[in-house]
Amino acid sequence: MGFNSSIQKRASDVLFERRIAAEKRAERIKEEVFQKCPRARELDRQIAGTGVQAARAVLKGGDVTSEMKKLRDTNLRLQEELKHLLADNGYPSDAFEPKYNCALCGDTGYIEDDNRTVVCKCLKQALVQIACDELNRTAPLALSTFDSFRLDYYDNRIDPSLGMSPYQLMDRILKFCRSYAETFTPNAESILMRGATGLGKTHLSLAIANEVIRRGYGVVYVSAPSVVQKLEKQYFSRGESDDSLMDLLTDCDLLIIDDLGTEFRTQFSVSQLYNVFNARMLQHKPVIINTNLDLVEMEKVYSHRFVSRISGSSTKLDFVGKDIRVRKNSL
C-alpha cells in the first residue's frame, strides 16, 4: 500500500511509542521486584553478565564450544532461580519481559516470513488509521450523532403509499443504522441511502462513521465530487505515481461516499468509482453510498453493470419526509 512519507513516519512513531511504553512498563515491574527482593537484582545482573562473557569467549577463541556450554548451563540455572523467586513473590515467570501491543512483531511493525521481512498487520492498521484521520480532518464528523437525530421532524400520520408513517419508517432506519454501527465488522453489508434533499442521509451516515471510528475501525468519509476531483488530480499530475488515495479507498474498513450523482461526471470518474466499488465488493468490504438519484436515474448516469453491482449487494434505505433544513429554519 502506498502511503506518503509523512503518514509512514507518523505510523512508525505510533509503534515506537507503543514499544517504548511496553519496555518502560517492564522496567517498572523489574524495579518493583528488585525493591522487594534484592536477590532478583543480583540474578538479573548475572544473567546479563553471561551474555557478555559469551561474546568475550567467542572473541578470545580457543575451546569456544565447551566454554559456551558452561555459560549456557550457568545462564539456565540463574534463569531457573529467578523464575522461582518471581513465583514466590507472586509474579509470572515472564514478568521482566516487555508485553508488547502486538505479539507478532513486538511493536516493531515488521515480521520475518519465509526469510523475507514483511509489514506486520498492526503497522498496516496504524497506516490506514492515520490516513483515514488525515482524510477526515475536514469532514463535519462531530456534529452528527445518533443522539442528535430527532424523529419529531417526521410526520406521524400514516402514508398509504408507505403503509406506515414517515415517523415509523425513519424510526426503523435510525434503529437499523444504530445497530449497524454498534455491531460493525469489516465484513458488514453495504448500505445505499436514497431520498430527496435534507432528509438526514448525511447526518445518519456521519453518525455511523463516528461510532465505527470510536470502535477503532478505519473509516473514510468523502463526498463524490471531492473524491473524484482528488483522484483526477492524483492520476493526471505528473511526477511520481501515487495511488495512495485509491489504496485507502479500497482498503479502509468502511468507505462512505456521500452525494453520489453530484460529481462532475466523466468517463474517468465513472470508471474510477466503479473500480473502487468493485474492488471493495470482491473483498466483501462495505460501502455506504448516499444519493438523491433513484435506481432508474442511476442507471442512466452510470452503467447497468455499475448500478446492479451496488444495489445487488446492499441494504437500501429509502429516506422520506420533508426537507429538514427548511423545517429547522422555520421552527
Ligand X SMILES: Nc1ncnc2c1ncn2[C@@H]1O[C@H](COP(=O)(O)OP(=O)(O)OP(=O)(O)O)[C@@H](O)[C@H]1O
CB of 194 to Mg ion, least distance (A): 11
Q: Which residue's entry shows cell 445505499?
A: 192
> Which segment (17-25, 43-51, 149-157, 300-308) binds ligand X by CB under 6 A?
149-157
Q: 30 vs 42, 49, 122, 301, 303, CA distance in Å?
A: 12, 17, 27, 66, 65
Q: Between residues 284 and 328, which has the closer beta carbon with respect to ligand X?
A: 328
Q: Does 210 bind ligand X (CB under 6 A)?
A: no
CA dihedral in degrees (251, 252, 253, 255; nearest 10)? Answer: -110
Q: Judged by CB under 6 A, does residue 324 bind ligand X?
A: yes
d(CA 22, CA 16) in angstroms, rounded, equals 10
For 114, counting Cβ atoms within 10 Å of its Cβ (0-12 exposed, 13-18 middle, 19+ buried), the class is exposed
Strand partners, 250: none
Q: From the centroid of its chain, how far is CA 161?
A: 41
Q: How far is the CB of 324 from ligand X (least distance, A)?
A: 4
| Nearer residue to Zn ion within complex by CB, 71 or 122 | 122
Q: Which residue in the set 18, 19, 201, 280 belongs to the binding site for ligand X (CB under 6 A)?
A: 201
Q: Which does residue 223 bind out of Mg ion, Zn ion, ligand X, none, counting CB within 5 to 8 angstroms by kind?
A: none
Q: Which of residues 128-147 bind ligand X (CB under 6 A)?
A: 144
Q: Tell which residue, 273, 279, 205, 262, has the closest CA to residue 235.
A: 273
255 within 8 A of 249, measured Cβ to Cβ: yes
Query: Applying CB under 6 A, does 102 fall inside the site for ligand X?
Result: no
Tell me: does residue 202 bind Mg ion (CB under 5 A): yes
In angstroms, give the least distance from the CB of 2 to Mg ion: 30
Shortest Å, Cβ 14 to Mg ion: 33
Cα separation, 112 vs 104, in Å, equals: 10
- Partner whose footprint covers residue 199, from ligand X, Zn ion, Mg ion, none (CB < 5 to 8 Å by kind): ligand X
**Contact call for residue 50 and ligand X (CB under 6 A):** no
- How many Å apart are CA 218 and CA 253, to the nearest integer? 5
Q: Which helix (H) or strand (E) holds 13?
A: helix 5-36
Closest CB to ligand X among 95 and 273? Answer: 273
128 vs 307 by CB, closer to Zn ion: 128
The backbone torsions φ and ψ at residue 45, rounded to the nearest 5 degrees and listed phi first, read -65, -40
| Cell numbers describing residue 116 | 523475507
197 binds, among ligand X, Mg ion, Zn ion, none (CB under 5 to 8 A by kind): ligand X
State the Cα–Cα distance between residues 92 and 84, nearest whole angstrom: 10
Residue 166 binds to ligand X (criterion: CB under 6 A) = no
**Where does this chain touch ligand X (CB under 6 A) — which range of 113-121, 125-133, 298-306, 323-331?**
323-331
What length does the chain have? 331
Q: Which region among 11-19, 157-165, 192-200, 271-279 touches ligand X (by CB under 6 A)? A: 192-200
Pick 139 or 169: Cβ nearer Mg ion: 139
**Quick one: which of 101, 165, 226, 292 contacts ligand X (CB under 6 A)?**
292
Cα dihedral 199→204→205→209 (10° resolution): 160
What is the residue whose three cell numbers read 465505527? 212
Interaction between residue 198 and ligand X (CB under 6 A) = yes
Residues that bind Zn ion (CB under 5 A): 102, 104-105, 120, 122
Report the interface residues with Mg ion, using CB under 5 A: 201-202
Report the interface residues with ligand X, using CB under 6 A: 144, 148-150, 153, 197-203, 259, 292, 324-325, 328
